[in-house]
Structure 1
Amino acid sequence: MIEIVDLSQEIYEGMPVYKDLPQVKMSIHNSHEEWDGIKNPKEKTAAVHKLELGEHTGTHVDAINHMAKEYKGQSIDTMPLSMFYTEGICLDFSHKNLKELITSLDIENACKKVNLEIKKGDTVLLYTDHYRKHFNTSNWGNGPDISIEAARWLGEKGIAAFGVETMSPGVPKVSNKEVHHICGELGFTHYENMINLYKLIDKGRFRFIGLPLKIRGGTGSPVRAVAVFDS
Structure 2
Amino acid sequence: MKIIDLSITLETGMKVFPGDPEVKIEVAHTYEKNGWELRNLNLGSHTGTHVDAFSHMHQGMDSLDEISVESFFGEAQVVECSKEWPKNIELFFTEEVDLNYLPQFLEANPKFVGGEITEELERALLKRGIITYTNLVNLDKIPKHSSFTFYGLPLKIKKGDGSPVRAIAIVQS
TM norm. shorter chain > 0.5: yes
Runs of 5+ in structure 1 lacking a partner? 37-45, 93-106, 112-116, 129-144, 171-175
C-alpha spacing 1:53/1:226, structure 2 compared with 1 (3 Å): same
Listed as ranges, the gaps of 5+ residues in structure 2 are none
Which residue is 1:158 aligned to?
Answer: 109
Structure 2 match to 1:200: 142
Matched, 1:213 2:155: yes
* Alignment of 1:19 onto 2:18: yes
Query: SS in structure 1 opposite 2:76?
Result: strand
Output aligned runs, 1:69-148, within 5 Å. Answer: 69-71=59-61, 74-92=62-80, 107=81, 109-111=82-84, 117-120=85-88, 122-128=89-95, 145-148=96-99
Query: CA–CA distance in 1 between the matches of 2:97 and 2:103?
Result: 10
Aligned partners of 1:203 and 1:150: how far apart in 2? 18
Q: 1:189 to 1:23 in 2, by over 3 A?
A: same
Q: Considering only aligned residues, what root-mean-square deviation do their CA atoms show, in Å?
A: 1.8
CA pair 155-19 structure 1, distance change in 2 beyond 3 A: farther
**Comparing both structures, which one devotes a greater share of its residues to strand?**
2
Q: State the 1:69 CA deviation.
A: 2.1
Secondary structure of 2:153's aligned partner: coil
3-state DSSP of counterpart to 1:149: helix
Secondary structure in 2 aligned to 1:224? strand
1-structure distance, mates of 2:44, 2:152? 17
Counterpart residue type for residue 86 of structure 1: G
State, as a whole percentage, how many aligned pairs show the same letter.
Answer: 32
Higher mean alpha-carbon deviation, 59-68 vs 181-190, is at 181-190
Q: Determine if contact 2:79/2:145 at 8 Å carries over to the other structure.
A: no
Q: How many residues align?
A: 173
How far, CA to CA, are the matches of 2:106 and 2:44 in structure 1? 27
Report what 2:45 is aligned to: 55
The separation in 2 between residues aligned to 1:18 and 1:47, in whole angstroms, is 30
Shift of residue 186, structure 1, vs aligned partner = 1.3
CA distance in 2 between counterparts of 1:204 and 1:158 reads: 18
Task: Answer with 1 or 2: which has the greater Rg.
Answer: 1
Shift in Å, 1:146: 1.9
Q: Deviations over 1:135-157 (max 9, x none)?
A: xxxxxxxxxx3221313431342
Shift of 1:228: 0.5
